[in-house]
Structure 1
Amino acid sequence: MASNFSSYLFFLVVIAILTCLTEAQVRIKSKKTGLVFQYNGTNVEVAEPNDSEGQKWILECSQKGHFIINSNKQGLAMDIKKGCKIGQSVMVYDKHSRQNQQFFINSDATIGTACDANLILLVKDRNVEVAPRDNYFDFDIHFEIEPIE
């Protein structure tokens, strides 16, 4: 029964993402390692999944196909530190909804940035940072959005 509920909830989250109507709590999980995005203080890193508040995110539609990835702590959102540049860290920051806080999910399971469609998120040394879309096939760049029951 729990498996059917999980499948149903996942289906609803996908539909909500596609229609830009979601407010569900999710985890962002690496397809390569199974580690999930987490914030400790300000930086976003990956860690073993647990029930901590720092691993819970809420996708908020900002414009068609783009999302602000809000932390579970009200008023904070995932943010590319110092704008959208290769190698910049991803952190949580006061929500302002500008382009460095907007992301989209590509069909290849990468997470792109709204400020430059050729930039994606990457896990490097357990930290989440910005990288160019090309030449990172062996790196940790594919993620899944997993609903929290």
Structure 2
Amino acid sequence: MVHLCIIHENQLLVFNIEMPGIRIISKLSGLALDGNGSNVKAAMPNNTVGQIWSLESLGDGTFVIHSYSDKNMVLDIEYGCHGENIILYPRHGDDNQQFYINSDGTIVSAGDRQKVLQMVRGKVVVRPVNISRNVDHIFNIEQLF
């Protein structure tokens, strides 16, 4: 059994990777990643299946983030690692569908480690983070079940 261990606010959080049922919430805005449709957006947390995800460890420190409602659909950087929009797309295994989940709450593209998941005006994107700005790029992972 594979586990994801994250230290958050001096607590060790352990998530069972083989079990779906996580929600990804922005620490700054409180909005959740919502995959209801092909575009992933930032939305108020609710009980819809579009906000439930599962993590798959690839064994090298990277993860694939699957939709709970359709395990074949995963978070994907549109147009490969050169794009920025996060969409749901059928899994193909390339770097633009793999992410590092860091202990500081950032979710980083495996294909371009300078780009982090961010919420911008209701959209979910990957962009280089500018620490001097108030950027919505730190996430809490909540295990739901």
Structure 2 length-normalised TM: 0.84
Of residues 98, 101, 110 in structure 1, which corresponds to 2:97?
A: 101
State how 1:1-149 maps to structure 2 within 5 Å. 11-13=13-15, 16=16, 21-72=17-68, 73-85=70-82, 88-135=84-131, 137-149=133-145
Q: After TM superposition, what 4+ stretches of structure 1 lie above 4 angstroms from structure 2?
A: none
Deviation string, structure 1 residues 118-140 (Cα, Å, up to 9, x no partner): 11111100100010134464110
- Shift of the alpha carbon at 1:63? 3.1
* Range 128-137 or range 35-44, more displaced: 128-137
Structure richer in helix, relative to its length? 1
Distance 1:46 1:142 in 2: 13
Q: Cα 1:146–1:101, aligned 2, differ >3 Å: closer, same or farther?
A: same
Number of residue pairs the alignment of both structures matches:
133
Q: 2:115, 2:126 within 8 Å by CA — same for their partners in 1? A: yes
Structure 2 unmatched ranges of 5 or more: 1-11
- CA RMSD, Structure 1 to Structure 2 (Å): 1.7
- Shift of the alpha carbon at 1:50? 1.1
Identity %: 36
Structure 1 length-normalised TM: 0.82
